[in-house]
Structure 1
Amino acid sequence: MTFWIRRIAFYLVTLWAAVSLNFLLPRILPGDPVAIMLGKLRRGGRQLSQETVDAVTALLGGDRGSSLWDQYLAYWGRMLHGDLGISSTRYPTPVGELIGQALPWTVTLVGAATIISFVLGIIGGAWVGWFRGTWVDQLVPITTFLQSIPYFWLALVLVAVFSVQLGLLPIIGAYDVFEYPMGPDWSLPFFGSVFVHALLPAATIVISSVGGWLLGMRNMMVQTMAEDYVLTAEAKGLRPSRIRSAYAARNASIPSLAGFGIALGFVVAGSIVTEQVFSYPGIGKLMIQAVQGLDYALMQGVFLVITLTVLAANFLIDLLYGFIDPRVRRNG
């Protein structure tokens, strides 16, 4: 019970610190973010309601006759009600709506690519570790080399080969905008278009990240195979396939769960470079647009969503660790 209480308390404190930092950042920036954002919103002679002005002030601060503590309480109140403010670059669209539109694309693309990369890396690492010293060990330097290639360069190479030279796959977008000019219609042909457009971005993420999982699993596999319980299983005459799967690979994969939890948490952050290269309408591309347009409310909203997702993923992994390995509960 002590383990669970400590974990919950730790993540609650971390959540409070993250939200508080999100509140303070625009207030410690040089200049007046409130004036900047209100000026952007008033471009073209737009008339802003008092509610919009108050919302921007509550999110970004400013000298509006209220103390910092009152602004902090008002900020928490708006966060708890899901009010992330109004985007200045896409006025009058709420920040929450923009994030809601981009989030499914990122979760589907980056989430699926991360899971595929993890599964391939764990299976490949277990196989390479079991047959260490043979020709299969050559997979390690090959995948490590692919991992060292910059995302944007690999993405451009894939585009040049499969889109420009061979003409097999589309270059940009999440679906064919000419075929579906009114947006997603959730039909079977539409999902086919989404799948085809996701192939190159997903391949970029998988190729760039599978090497890390494979190398880590391979090293843990070699270390685990030297443990006494594996040697005992071999001495008992158990089948090699059973020793590999039930004894060696199962225990060697446990440390990778922590990294997988962090990777899943950062799925929401998207693969910023990949989404930018392929003009994929995810959170990563939205974040770049927010920074380029000095859209403080949108930057705050994206940062908050990413932080909450990372904390939630790590919390779930901590709970899973507690169930898998009792030593964690005793030492935690």
Structure 2
Amino acid sequence: MRYLLRKLVFYVAALWAALTLNFLIPRLMPGNPVDLMLSKLATKGPVTPTTRAAIQALLGTDTNGSLWNQYGKYLHQLVSGNLGTSIAYFPAPVSQVIGQTLPWTVGLIGLATAISFALGILLGRAAGWRRGSWIDNLIPVTTMLQSVPYFWLALLLLFLLGSTWPIFPLNGGYDVYSVTPGWNLPFVQSVAYHGTLPALTIVVSSVGGWMLGMRNMMVSTLSEDFVLTAEAKGLTPRRIRSRYVARNAVLPSISGFAISLGFVVAGSIVTEAVFSYPGIGSALLLAVSNNDYALMQGVFLIITLAVLGANLLVDLLYGVIDPRTRARS
């Protein structure tokens, strides 16, 4: 229980620090979302001070009062679920924009990251257990693919599998002309079809790192004394591989997987830009180009919660997998 409480206190403090930075950084940036909105309205007629005050209240950028008052109002709005109004998607609230785009990102990037992790761990375990086999010889190829810039690999696959051989669509999240969004089979099939090529790009570019890390840890763990003791006891090779070697070798990869899951939202920007995918990364790019501070703050908040939540989950899981971590704590 003390281990759990210590972890929770640490992550609550980290969340508070992240929220504070999320409040301060946009206010230190040049530009003003109110001025941007007023410049758009000015093309249709003169803007009165009353209109400016109304827009400031609507966008949550009213600078009247001290910074502490603004900070308190900001925290109160977060607790109540009010993240402000988006300029890029005006008059939609930020929470609605995030709610519509986040499932696309989590479904694509999250699932592809989990697949690449599972595939890399399984291949790395086999390569470390059977050194010199054909699986072990795949590591230079997968490492080479990982070293290729992601956007270049994505463009190459788009050219080959989307243009030269039109197997997959070039852009979009689903066929907007022939299917209706909803929980129906044609829509799900269209989403899976459009997401296959972006997911394939993520898996191809990242599986090599998981495979190499797991393979090296398997080789290192095989030289430990407890493995020799297990062999001397007459345990089967399968039990030694699964319960003794792989279980200890996978621990560093689990920590890396937590970081990867946490940055699923942040890492979606390049993927969604290349494939024109309707996720939260595309929304963030549009927010930056329109100085939409409210939407940027909302997306950064989601990234913060994702990183902290993933790390907390894996910290707790780490304590279950390796009880020694709880003893040290």
Q: Would the aligned equivalents of 2:222 and 2:245 in 1 still touch at CA under 8 Å?
A: yes
- Pick which of 6-15 and 262-271 moved more: 262-271
Counterpart residue number, 2:272: 275
The 3 A distance-change label for structure 1 pair 171 and 322 is same
SS at match of 2:10: helix
Match of 2:91 in 1: 92
Aligned runs of 1:27-106 on 2, under 5 Å? Answer: 27-31=27-31, 33-39=32-38, 42=41, 45=44, 52-56=55-59, 58=60, 60=61, 62=63, 64=64, 66-106=65-105
Partner of 1:229: 226
Query: Structure 2: any 5+ residue segments left out of the alignment?
Result: none
Q: Which amino acid aligns with 1:54?
A: A
CA-to-aligned-CA distance 1:280-310 (integer Å, 9 cap, x gap): 0011111111112211111111001111111
Ranges in structure 1 where 5+ consecutive residues have no aligned partner: none
Does residue 128 of the first structure (1) align with residue 131 of the second (2)? Answer: no
One-letter code aligned to 2:29: L
Q: CA deviation at 1:100?
A: 0.6
Query: For residues 179 and 218 of structure 1, what CA distance do their matches in structure 2 show?
Result: 46
1:98-177 superposed matches below 5 A: 98-177=97-176
Q: Deviations over 1:137-186 (max 9, x none)?
A: 22111111000111111111111111111111111001001113xx5132
Work out whether residues 26 and 61 of structure 1, in 8 Å CA contact, stay in contact via their aligned partners in 2.
Answer: no
Structure 2 CA distance, aligned partners of 1:282 and 1:121? Answer: 26
**TM-score of the two chains, using structure 1 as the length reference:** 0.92
- After superposition, where does 1:295-310 map in structure 2 within 5 Å? 295-310=292-307
Residues 34, 55 of structure 2: 8 Å contact kept: no
Residue 252 (structure 1) aligns with: 249
RMSD: 1.9
- The structural deviation recorded for 1:323 is 2.2
Once residues 42 and 308 of structure 1 are traced to their aligned partners in structure 2, the CA distance between those partners, rounded to angstroms, is 35
Q: Is the 8 A contact 2:213 2:253 kept in 1?
A: yes
Q: Is the 8 A contact 1:125 1:217 kept in 2?
A: yes
1:259 Cα deviation from its structure 2 partner: 1.0
- Asked if 1:293 is matched to 2:290, the reply is yes
Q: Is the 8 A contact 1:113 1:206 kept in 2?
A: yes
2:135 partner SS: helix
Q: Secondary structure at the match of 1:42?
A: helix
Q: What is the distance in 2 between the residues matched to 1:144 and 1:20?
A: 39
TM-score of the superposed pair, with normalisation by structure 2 = 0.93
Residue in structure 2 matched with residue 219 of structure 1 by the alignment: 216
Change (3 A) 1:41 1:317: farther
* Ranges of 4+ aligned residues in structure 1 off by more than 6 Å: none
Q: 1:255 Cα shift? A: 1.9
**Residue 9 in structure 1 maps to residue 9 in structure 2:** yes
Percent sequence identity over aligned pairs:
55
> Which of residues 245, 252, 266 is equivalent to 2:263?
266
Displacement of 1:123 in angstroms is 0.3
